[in-house]
Structure 1
């Protein structure tokens, strides 16, 4: 049976946008970062005097960048719940108990989380404290939801997708094998065996649903970019990206996908902020990270300075489609608050970023060879392209 996607009308598009705004305006969306900081740090080349502006997301990468010792990291996000997550991670690092930190964010559950919150009282912003008191059950493990990594909208969608995929015994065996795989040849052999079961009609239908993409944090603007610029549309894009992750980059240290496949990390396969050897440095430098619940443009208007680094993730995909004037204004503010040599890192769902205003492009020196080479090594593998640029005088 062929499952056809209903035709998109103006009404359905408006409904999708409304649902996206509602979901993202009232929920934690990202419970872990889905950008590879190993590659970011190579591209950014942070120094002791670096002053960074970045989008918070789940905060994992802000802590990873901190290991390079920059002077300041300003984590900016319109969603205060994302900043609350970073504040909780920082508070737990400062508390200094590696076992409790790893139980929370390594294992994804902690039966004593409510007690920990009492100890952390006054260590986070009031909004963050109240948010985690209300959402304490996010770290409770139950048969219906065993892990924090299946909480928040992206986590809930990962849980639904996992249950859908794991209906197939072949896929269950494949997931178990991938968690112990040792080399790329083995990965490729396993993938060819499981591919027919992985992309059955039900799964292909699921990934085309607007609500599924909304819960994963993908706005309609990005879906449209993918559908118009990638062969095979959204399904072809996801199949291609998943094939890259499963066959082209080593899976042994791919903690991004491990978290959603298993609900937890391991001591050897986890973000750097969870590794014991990094705790002293993170504790000593944690005050260099500040969080701001606003837009990048508003932050720059209210905190003018000569920043050295910007990490913009993919939010300009949405600005380009919905608010081109705001996109132009953001670039103007970025350039006004940069110095010669300021480095800008961003990503897109599109294979090519072609929406940067011409006036901004004239001030940028692109380093596309490095960005393209490292893009191929990305352990996450969900973006269409990576852009790296330096501001010139």
Structure 2
């Protein structure tokens, strides 16, 4: 690893620490926060876990929209292109996520057809993908991203090899889901049984008879009461506290309710999030549910609009500070605000408000159900925004990923 790469990793680690650390180094909470920043250094999300269909409905993207979003796994960045925005700026503090986003952009542009693009990111477990990377993608990938994918992970595996052996089984979240499957099998439970259901009614029967009882096991209840056990979901200690507060019976009850929604509220044949959770990858049949950017109907549009995406290794608030007043109009914050202190939230919303054009819309998720902004962002700022409460409740109910307590939409006052 050369000096530039070392500096990039060091810079990333410091930025993540700045975003997460709130407590003293030797306090229990401080130790948990530092453990999380260590876990968060590598790939966390091979697939993003915010429903792009809900985002697109809430954002109401127009041909002159400039979307600013946290990049994460990049699925939604490319999926937003289906709505024909003028520009998308994707920012992230995690260098692995930046490398994944840039890989997706290069692959969409240079792989020869939709079949190879779908195989690369939809199946992500074929040896042909590595050959396609070497021949079609590598020559067009920036040096930093190329160095990442051709480097090795903590156990010596070449990272690009993940696309030959199941990339969705890797990363922090992939490891968490794999551990959950292993734990289920110890109790003689097969989560994949849900994928064979032929109706929502059958899905509920399978959930109640086979999956729900695991949350009553003493070891599972003890395990989920440990904040570190959910690091694999990308949940830092502060977000764990918010999530745990959703149910007086503890985190096991919260997780059971979220899993029940994922398993029972949506047709499994139309919910790729459920396939990721219960099958550890997308389905391979021609009718298998896929994110918008991988669907054949959107392939040409996504490929033709790749040049509109700018991926930046940056803090969201820092990016906003660099932009002119009233220059942006669509913002996607994922669940990042759950990590933030009041001072960080205030700075973020000062930046959003200053850079917002008339009609600006902000979408974000929270671990707990309520919006976290009232009482934490000064009213002089928040009063300029209208919280779409009814729409937010509806979006929350229909978000197929099912892991968040709330999906929230704010619209700048003076515009519908």
State the alpha-carbon separation in 1 of the partners of residues 163 and 388 from structure 2: 41
Q: Which one of the candidate residues 368, 371, 387 is aligned to 1:350?
A: 368
| Structure 1 residue corresponding to 2:202, chosen from 186, 189, 200 | 186
Give 1:1-393 correspondences, 5 Å limit. Answer: 11-24=27-40, 26-95=41-110, 96-119=112-135, 120-134=137-151, 135-141=159-165, 147-169=166-188, 171-172=189-190, 175-176=192-193, 178-194=194-210, 195-197=212-214, 199-266=216-283, 267=286, 268-304=288-324, 306-319=327-340, 323-355=341-373, 356-392=377-413
* Mean Cα deviation higher: 261-270 or 73-82: 261-270
CA apart distance, 1:113: 4.1
SS in structure 1 opposite 2:123?
A: coil
CA distance in 2 between partners of 1:247 and 1:53 (Å): 33
How far apart, in 2, do the equivalents of 1:199 and 1:390 lie? 42
Using the size of structure 2 for normalisation, the TM-score is 0.85
Cα gap change, 1:387/1:58 in structure 2, threshold over 3 Å: closer, same or farther? same
Could you tell me how far 1:335 is from its partner in structure 2? 0.5
Kindly state the Cα deviation for residue 114 of structure 1 after the two structures are TM-superposed.
4.0
Q: Conserved in 1, the CA contact under 8 Å of 2:275 and 2:281?
A: yes
Closer/same/farther in 2, CA of residues 80 and 303 from structure 1, 3 Å limit: farther
Instruction: State how far apart, in whole Å, the 2-side matches of 1:264 and 1:242 are.
Output: 17
> Retained in 2: the 8 A contact 1:371–1:387?
yes
Q: Where does residue 5 of structure 2 map in the other structure?
A: none
User: 1:350, 1:385 within 8 Å by CA — same for their partners in 2?
Assistant: yes
Instruction: Assess if the C-alpha contact under 8 Å between 1:249 and 1:378 holds in 2.
Output: no
Structure 2 residue runs of 5 or longer lacking an equivalent are: 1-24, 152-158
Distance change (3 Å), C-alpha of 1:208 and 1:137: farther
Note closer, same or farther for the CA distance 1:384–1:22 as it changes in structure 2 (3 Å cut). same
Distance (Å, rounded) in 1 between the aligned partners of 2:337 and 2:366: 8
The CA deviation at 1:122 is 4.3
- Report the CA distance between 1:161 and its aligned residue: 1.1
> Contact 1:33–1:58 at 8 Å: present in 2 too?
yes
- Match of 2:55, SS state, is helix
User: What is the SS of the residue equivalent to 1:154?
Assistant: helix
Tell me, yes or no, if the aligned pair for 1:107 and 1:263 is still in contact at 8 Å: no
Work out the CA distance in 2 between the residues paired with 1:340 and 1:14.
41
Distance across 2 between alignment mates of 1:227 and 1:343? 29
Deviations 1:185-213 (A, max 9, x none): 22222222122246433333333333321
1:123–1:304 Cα change, 3 Å? farther
- SS, match of residue 410 in structure 2: strand
Aligned partners of 1:213, 1:389: CA distance in 2, in Å? 29
Aligned residues: 373
For residues 378 and 252 of structure 2, what CA distance do their matches in structure 1 show? 30
In the alignment, is the contact (CA less than 8 A) between 1:165 and 1:203 conserved in 2? no
Question: Displacement of 1:39 after TM fit?
Answer: 1.2
Runs of 4+ in 1 over 6 A off after TM superposition: none
Q: How far apart are the structure 2 equivalents of 1:354 and 1:157?
A: 27
Shift of 1:220: 0.4
Structure 1 residues 256-312: Cα deviation after superposition (integer angstroms, max 9, x where no partner): 121232232124211122222221111111111110111111111123351110011
- Give the secondary-structure state (helix, strand or coil) at the position aligned to 2:196: coil
Relative to the length of structure 1, the TM-score reads 0.89
Does structure 2 conserve the Cα–Cα contact (< 8 Å) formed by 1:226 and 1:233? no
Between the aligned partners of 2:263 and 2:90, the Cα distance in structure 1 is 31
Aligned-CA RMSD value: 1.9
Give 1:155 shift. 0.8
Residue-by-residue CA offset, 1:30-61 (whole Å, 9 max, x unaligned): 11010111111111111111111011110101
Contact 2:362 2:409 (C-alpha < 8 Å) held by counterparts: yes
